[in-house]
Structure 1
Amino acid sequence: MPYRFTVEDVAFLRSPAGEQALDAVARLALTPASMLADVADVRRHHPDHDAALIETVRCRRRAAGRLRNPHRLLASDDAVQQATASMVAAHRAADLAARHPGAVVHDVTCSIGAELVELAAAPGLGGVIGSDLDRVRLAMARHNTADPDIVAGAPPTLLVADALTPTSTADVVVADPARRTGGSRVFRLDQLTPPLPDVLTAYAGRPLVVKCAPGLDYRQLREQFGVVGEVQVTSLDSGVREACLWVGPGIGDAQRATVLRTTPDGSVWAEEITSAEPDDVGAAGDPGRWLIDPDGAVVRAGLVRHYAHRHHLWQLDPQIAYLTGDEIPLGARGFRILERLDSTGDKVLRKSVAAHDGGSLEILVRGLDVDPDALRKRLKPKGSRQLTLVLTRIGRKGVAFVCEAGIRNDRFDGTAPQTD
């Protein structure tokens, strides 16, 4: 069971003595093999706060690469799991500032303040408010948002409040209903905490941004709950992180895919595709030089055709998300086609993989009922070359493409993409 922090724990961790103790605990391995000895060591020096110190250091390690300034973060395990990645939150904060210059933004489920940090750091907003019912998380948020190197202006105003009880006249409201209850994920919109329909009702008439799970069924939102708004699906470095619902005055029905990638210099490259763009890609046709696997945000937002139109790609089949073309778009992953097979039978696949000296074999499947791991065991590739085997369907017929190992075009300096 994860440790349950108290307000007294947070007060100690924020004190000079607590900071010194955290520095000492951070030097410990805290691995399964060393944990008994490490716990005994911490308990000997800090018997009243040993669990809080160890859990804080472990949470900081889990947050590394996801949240800003993990080395000074105060957080619980579940708060780290639920917190929005800093790069995603920063992109949204910039979006809010561009849409609502000078606005005061109120995060009504602020938790440990991961979103507040990015809102407060975004130039162009008029102020930031955070509220939560959990006093421990608010105490952590007060610490996490107090870094003057990040929050150049006034730190966010923090208060204890129920997310369903409007407590400010802020211009824009941000909410992140919890998607876990009793340790288990929930998927129904009315089972979130607080329930999504209740959040929408509480802030009707105001611009509202609600973070949801990546699998948000926006058709259900429109058909069952009558919600009109923009659904934004965001990915970071190929992993789909969230769906975000934007509703309020002036926002119409739309889908948006936001693809974020970390560049070699640590900055963030972004591409956005919306349902307002053209989606005419003509009839499905023969494959080009490359098979393109669109980013998951594009697929989940239902914008594969819009993406194809933008990048001069075309579909193999109108119902399948794989695309094809003669170049790999920036930020995308492509597979150079070596051979097309009009059969997905084991014998045909095994012969082709062997002919191309396939050894390490990535298998991708879309539109067919095939278990990649079971198929790889049956094919028993023994060669020395890395290949990718793509199984899909064109019309009602299963087809396979034997390809070179995937290449991701992340060369933001314009040079040639590198093999995965």
Structure 2
Amino acid sequence: MGYEFTGTDLDFLQSEGGAGALSAVGDLELSARSSVRDITEVRSRFPDHASALIETVTVRRKARVKLSDADRWLVTNDAVQQATPTLVARRRATRLVGRRVHDVTCSIGGELAVLVESAELVVGSDLDPIRLRMAAHNVPGATVFRADAVTPTTRDTVVVADPGRRAGGRRRHDPAALQPPLPDLFDAYRGRDLIVKCAPGLDFDAVDWPGEIEVVSLDGGVREACLWSEGLSERGIRRRAAVLRSDGAVVEFTDAESDDIPVEPPGEFLVDPDGAVVRAGLVRHYGARYGLWQLDPRIAYLTGNTVPAGVRGFRILEQSKFSEKVLRQLLERMDCGSVEILVRGVDVDPAILRPKLKLRGSVALSVVITRIGRSAVCFVCAPGTTDQPV
């Protein structure tokens, strides 16, 4: 939870005096070390607006990692937590160039700010009057108005929705527990072009969705799942993974590609596909593109004798059945002093295992613990390395 802004706060923040006050507060450190001194100064200089100023400045700083123009935006902490990173939103906007788009949960305008760059028409709506005022300030090129997301208010538009996914500080993964609930959105816009942004942890099997499900990552972190209605998706594609990097590189994988790969003993390297690929269920398609194969048909680790460009791979040094005793002996023999532990398909907590290994050597290594067939196995590897970027 963050500070609850009022209309009076926004009147001040949007005024000439408010702009000057924001600039002054923005010059303060506002860190844990200086917070008492800085807050005292703000309260002394701007007694009627201290909380709104401090909240705006601190949340703007958090928002810089997501929003490209955060230092001029009016923001709330909750809105920024759910906001789509600009690079992810911009990538989605490339599929909507020249379209008429209505963001029915526009919040403070994160999606609108990108859509206005290339869409023919952009409108936004929300039930929260404070966030609507912020959106109007943040994205002057968009038209915004108050409306319920499940009450259609435009025609011939692509509808974009980003249901609320948090309650009491916790994420909600049940489609019916989102705000608004996914079934209500589906019913309200049945037959319309619809895009719904969801948390990547959404249970796809619980969603009766006839179109495309796309999972997007940015710089290795999975950011969102996105549902595209049939009219907006390419024929024959039901799953897509979009792997983005901050330098602008984009690599996509879809279920229209071949997934014909064998299950064979390990090659020279282990490869852990990007999280978007794993969440989208496209591990085999990823492996087929890069000439990799599986260790086990139920495990997402792949293996091969080369590592795809820009992907982190682990050169296998030793392999054995997994037990704490055997792994400790292996690492001791290899003079290991620090270890990265990766686990998939086996009930092992790296934080609990690491001190039990009693490492005293000087070499840094990586350990991958996974399941092959019915057996838990461990691979001792050289530290993960990345080939040249795409």
2:115 pairs with one of 119, 135, 141 = 119
Is 1:90 the counterpart of 2:70? The answer is no
Aligned to 1:392: 370
Aligned to 1:416: none
Displacement after TM superposition at 1:166 (Å): 0.9
Query: Structure 1 regions of 5+ residues with no counterpart?
Result: 147-154, 413-420
Aligned to 1:276: 256
Look up the equivalent residue of 1:109 and give its one-letter code: T
Q: How does 1:343-382 map to 2 (within 5 A)?
A: 343-382=321-360
CA-atom RMSD in angstroms: 1.5
Deviates more, 1:296-305 or 1:241-250: 241-250
Q: In structure 1, what is the Cα distance between the partners aligned to 2:167 and 2:370?
A: 37
Q: In structure 1, what is the Cα distance between the partners aligned to 2:388 and 2:165?
A: 32
Q: In structure 1, what is the Cα distance between the partners aligned to 2:389 and 2:332?
A: 32
Is 1:230 the counterpart of 2:208? The answer is no
TM-score w.r.t. the length of structure 2 is 0.96
Aligned to 1:259: 243
- For each residue in 1:94-113, what CA deviation from the matched residue of structure 2 results, as whole angstroms up to 9, or x when unmatched? 1222xxxx210000000000
Displacement after TM superposition at 1:410 (Å): 5.6
Displacement after TM superposition at 1:11 (Å): 2.5
Aligned to 1:150: none
Displacement after TM superposition at 1:253 (Å): 6.5
Q: In structure 1, what is the Cα distance between the partners aligned to 2:231 and 2:70?
A: 37
Q: What secondary structure, in the 3-state scheme, does the structure 2 residue paired with 1:321 have?
A: coil
Look up the equivalent residue of 2:353 and give its one-letter code: L
Deviates more, 1:24-33 or 1:207-216: 24-33
Q: In structure 1, what is the Cα distance between the partners aligned to 2:353 and 2:274?
A: 25
Q: How many residues align?
A: 388
Is 1:178 the counterpart of 2:161? The answer is no
Q: In structure 2, what is the Cα distance between the partners aligned to 1:315 and 1:168?
A: 48
Runs of 4 or more above 6 Å deviation: none
Q: What secondary structure, in the 3-state scheme, does the structure 2 residue paired with 1:20 have?
A: helix
Residue identity over aligned pairs, in percent, reads 54
Look up the equivalent residue of 2:244 and give its one-letter code: L
Displacement after TM superposition at 1:305 (Å): 0.2
Aligned to 1:289: 268
2:138 pairs with one of 140, 144, 151 = 144
Aligned to 2:229: 247
Q: What secondary structure, in the 3-state scheme, does the structure 1 residue paired with 2:195 have?
A: strand
Contact persistence 2:67–2:110 (CA under 8 A): yes
Displacement after TM superposition at 1:31 (Å): 2.0
Q: In structure 2, what is the Cα distance between the partners aligned to 1:216 and 1:331?
A: 28
Look up the equivalent residue of 2:319 and give its one-letter code: R
Aligned to 1:311: 290
Contact persistence 2:174–2:203 (CA under 8 A): no
Q: What secondary structure, in the 3-state scheme, does the structure 1 residue paired with 2:37 have?
A: helix
Is 1:411 the counterpart of 2:389? The answer is yes
Contact persistence 2:237–2:255 (CA under 8 A): no
TM-score w.r.t. the length of structure 1 is 0.89
Look up the equivalent residue of 2:255 and give its one-letter code: S
Q: What secondary structure, in the 3-state scheme, does the structure 2 residue paired with 1:249 have?
A: helix
Q: In structure 2, what is the Cα distance between the partners aligned to 1:236 and 1:409?
A: 18
Q: In structure 2, what is the Cα distance between the partners aligned to 1:286 and 1:376?
A: 27
Contact persistence 1:228–1:253 (CA under 8 A): no
Aligned to 2:193: 207
Displacement after TM superposition at 1:312 (Å): 0.7
- For each residue in 1:296-339, what CA deviation from the matched residue of structure 2 results, as whole angstroms up to 9, or x when unmatched? 11111110000000111101111110001122213321111111
Q: In structure 2, what is the Cα distance between the partners aligned to 1:160 and 1:286?
A: 59
Query: Structure 2 regions of 5+ residues with no counterpart?
Result: none
Q: What secondary structure, in the 3-state scheme, does the structure 2 residue paired with 1:118 have?
A: helix
Is 1:156 the counterpart of 2:136? The answer is no
Aligned to 1:337: 316
- For each residue in 1:258-309, what CA deviation from the matched residue of structure 2 results, as whole angstroms up to 9, or x when unmatched? 111123xxxx211111111110002x11211210001111111110000000
Look up the equivalent residue of 2:301 and give its one-letter code: Y
Displacement after TM superposition at 1:72 (Å): 1.3
